[in-house]
């Protein structure tokens, strides 16, 4: 090898290392911005767009002869939100009457001519109580030799169990909704109320609740699949690995049905394709919407699913990172503006409460031209070679092109959402909770957490108080048959409650 070749090779290696160093610095800067900066908002203000584009959009492809120029309607004035009351009107009122001392001394000398009222919102900490059931025994007065009669004990979640449904509901909501590990609840009960409930007792209570709620979660999943469209995602959870003295990684897989607002969690000790298949029914035939994780694509191909929609939020997130780090701000700003127009169309459809047919029609006429424009730009950016493949912009363009078919799917399928945010939002409580309780008991206990997260997540989307729902359902379940389970899902419970309030 000649000296000139050696120098050229060294220069090439130096250039490669410089580019790698730049990309690594970029990633560090992005992490620092997310941790110490203004959060992860992906919104562009109108001032930013105007600063980027001015009167014309730099680099924006010119409209073709057969494509009409887009005319933006003036933005309507934002409606002023009505002031929300500080507290509900139906709260109980504890009234204290304060009279002047002279009036107290001789009230007959005074006549009331008015009053001044001041209010404060107060709170009384929760309290324990004993729920005692007394079953009295009787004999007939005129037949003292007859067999005494005693009322039968009402069905319970557990015979001789010491924890009533109200307490069980409180413990479950505390752990899975308020993210209080059981050992902290044990300390709170002991220090504040002098009630000694060991951690093992609380664990058995959680297991009991999950056992009884399992048919409810199964019914919810059955109703999800009947809709023909689900969003799928997964999140890692650590569990204790027996005999190893440390934790292993399992996964909570999540299915979300946006139309019926139900979220169902499923447990599996791994993330591979075989773990995805284990909790899906053999005759699974739904439209799915997911991220780019390969097992979902394999599932679509192997089962010949009707469609596999992708997520525009993932695309937007990648271009926003590139924009935020200063890469090709004019071009990436224009792309973000176009994606924002897609979301404005979806916002309008939600406000109109549009059904699948209307959504498909409006998307065909308004969203498809924007999609065509975006993918023409993506193709030109990729083929032009102006963006290094490992840069943030390059990876964003490559991701969008790989997902081209899935990103277009929502236009034709009116029941499908533009993104997978519904299922990602449902996962957040589990992600927040694991920062507090760190891990679950063991591999076989994961399904219990999945069942309880299913109930609580759906209570949230249906606007239910999880404690009120759990207390009522746990009181009723021991006396119910399996055919009555559909009547106590969070969706059915919310509907029954609204009908009761209306009547």
| CATH code at position 455 | 3.30.420
Residue 148 lies in a domain: no
* Three-state secondary structure call for residue 308: strand
Residue 109 lies in a domain: no
Distance separating alpha carbons of residues 294 and 192, to the nearest angstrom? 50
Residue 55 lies in a domain: no
Same domain, 340 and 369: yes
Domain boundary among 387, 412, 437: 412
Structural domains counted in the chain: 2
List the chain pLDDT tens, one digit each, 503 residues: 677 777 877 788 887 787 777 777 767 776 776 666 655 566 665 555 554 555 434 444 444 434 444 444 455 566 677 776 767 777 888 888 988 898 889 988 888 888 888 887 777 778 888 888 888 888 888 887 888 898 888 889 998 888 999 999 999 999 988 888 899 999 999 999 899 999 999 999 999 999 999 999 999 999 999 999 999 999 888 887 666 667 788 899 999 998 888 999 999 988 899 999 999 998 899 999 999 999 999 999 999 999 999 999 999 999 999 898 888 888 999 999 999 999 999 999 999 999 999 999 999 999 999 999 999 999 998 888 777 777 889 999 999 999 999 999 999 999 999 999 988 888 877 666 666 656 676 777 789 989 999 999 999 999 999 999 999 999 999 999 999 999 999 999 999 999 888 87
Same domain, 317 and 387: yes
Residue 126 lies in a domain: no
Same domain, 452 and 401: no
Name the residue with tokens 């490669």: 16
Same domain, 302 and 447: yes
Same domain, 301 and 445: yes
For 123-153, b/e burial (b = at least 16 CB within 10 A) is: eeeeeeeeeeeeeeeeeeeeeeeeeeeeeee
Cβ within 8 Å of residue 462, ≥6 positions away: 261, 490, 491, 493, 494
Q: Is 303 exposed, middle or buried (CB count within 10 Å of its CB: 0-12, 13-18, 19+)?
A: middle
Which of 420, 503, 490, 434 is CA-nearest to residue 462? Answer: 490
Provide the pLDDT for residue 343: 95
Domain boundary among 378, 412, 446: 412
Provide the pLDDT for residue 61: 43
Is the CB of residue 64 less than 8 Å from the CB of residue 338? Answer: no
Provide the pLDDT for residue 219: 96
Provide the pLDDT for residue 56: 39
Residue 134 lies in a domain: no
Cβ within 8 Å of residue 131, ≥6 positions away: 164, 166
Same domain, 288 and 355: no
Same domain, 295 and 318: no
Residue 401 lies in a domain: yes
Same domain, 287 and 207: yes
Long-range contacts of 114-121 (CB under 8 A, 24+ apart): 121/86, 121/87
Name the residue with tokens 């924890």: 163
Please state, in angstroms and as integers, the Cα–Cα distance from residue 444 to each residue in 82, 207, 242, 258, following that order: 49, 11, 11, 29
Distance separating alpha carbons of residues 215 and 238, to the nearest angstrom? 25
Distance separating alpha carbons of residues 479 and 154, to the nearest angstrom? 8
Give the tokens for residue 313.
Answer: 């939020």
* Three-state secondary structure call for residue 231: strand
Q: What angle do CA 422, 427, 432 make, to 5 degrees?
A: 135
Same domain, 460 and 498: yes
Helix-helix angle 199-226:490-502, to 10 degrees? 80
Domain boundary among 412, 446, 468: 412
Please state, in angstroms and as integers, the Cα–Cα distance from residue 121 to each residue in 67, 89, 126, 227, 467, following that order: 60, 12, 16, 44, 21
* Three-state secondary structure call for residue 468: helix
Distance separating alpha carbons of residues 132 and 216, to the nearest angstrom? 29
Residue 415 is classified by DSSP as T
Q: What does R_g of the chain's alpha carbons equal in angstroms? A: 30
Same domain, 361 and 436: no
Distance separating alpha carbons of residues 343 and 337, to the nearest angstrom? 10
Distance separating alpha carbons of residues 428 and 437, to the nearest angstrom? 14
Residue 344 structural domain: 312-412
Same domain, 232 and 282: yes
Same domain, 408 and 316: yes
């Amino acid at each position: 090898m000649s000296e000139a070749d050696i120098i050229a090779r060294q220069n090439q290696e130096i250039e490669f290392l410089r580019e790698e160093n730049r990309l690594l610095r970029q990633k560090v800067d992005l992490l620092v911005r997310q941790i110490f900066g203004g959060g992860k908002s992906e919104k562009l203000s109108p001032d930013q767009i105007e600063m980027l584009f001015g009167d014309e959009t730099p680099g924006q492809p010119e409209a073709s002869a057969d494509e009409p120029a887009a005319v933006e309607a003036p933005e309507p004035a934002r409606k002023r939100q009505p002031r929300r009351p500080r507290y509900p009107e139906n709260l109980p009122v504890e009234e204290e009457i304060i009279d002047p001392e002279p009036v107290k001394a001789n009230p007959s000398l005074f006549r009331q001519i008015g009053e001044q009222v001041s209010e404060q919102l107060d709170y009384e900490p929760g309290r324990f109580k004993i729920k005692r059931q007394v079953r009295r025994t009787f004999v007939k007065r005129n037949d003292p030799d007859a067999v005494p009669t005693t009322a039968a004990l009402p069905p319970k979640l557990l015979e001789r169990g010491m924890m009533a449904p109200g307490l069980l509901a409180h413990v479950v909501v505390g752990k899975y909704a308020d993210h209080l590990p059981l050992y902290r609840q044990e300390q709170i009960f002991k220090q504040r109320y002098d009630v000694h409930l060991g951690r093992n007792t609380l664990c058995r209570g959680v297991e009991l609740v999950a056992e009884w709620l399992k048919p409810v979660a199964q019914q919810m999943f059955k109703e999800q699949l009947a809709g023909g469209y689900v969003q799928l995602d997964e999140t890692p959870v650590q569990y204790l690995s027996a005999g190893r003295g440390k934790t292993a990684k399992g996964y909570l897989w999540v299915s979300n049905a946006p139309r019926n607002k139900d979220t169902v969690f499923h447990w599996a000790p791994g993330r591979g394709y075989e773990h995805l298949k284990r909790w899906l029914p053999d005759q699974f035939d739904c439209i799915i919407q997911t991220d780019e994780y390969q097992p979902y694509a394999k599932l679509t191909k192997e089962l010949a699913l009707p469609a596999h929609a992708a997520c525009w939020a993932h695309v937007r997130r990648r271009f926003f990172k590139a924009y935020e780090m200063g890469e090709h701000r004019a071009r990436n700003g224009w792309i973000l503006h176009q994606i924002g127009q897609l979301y404005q169309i979806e916002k309008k459809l939600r406000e109109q409460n549009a059904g699948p047919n209307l959504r498909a029609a409006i998307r065909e006429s308004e969203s498809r031209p924007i999609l065509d424009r975006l993918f023409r730009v993506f193709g030109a950016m990729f083929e032009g070679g102006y963006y290094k493949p490992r840069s943030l912009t390059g990876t964003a363009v490559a991701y969008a092109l790989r997902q081209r078919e899935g990103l277009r799917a929502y236009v034709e399928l009116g029941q499908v959402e533009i993104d997978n945010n519904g299922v990602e939002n449902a996962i957040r409580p589990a992600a927040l909770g694991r920062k507090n309780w760190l891990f679950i008991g063991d591999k076989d206990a994961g399904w219990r957490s999945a069942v309880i997260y299913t109930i609580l997540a759906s209570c949230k989307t249906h606007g239910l108080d999880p404690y009120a729902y759990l207390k009522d359902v746990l009181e009723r379940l021991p006396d119910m048959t399996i055919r009555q389970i559909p009547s106590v899902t969070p969706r059915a419970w919310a509907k029954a409650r609204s009908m009761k309030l209306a009547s």
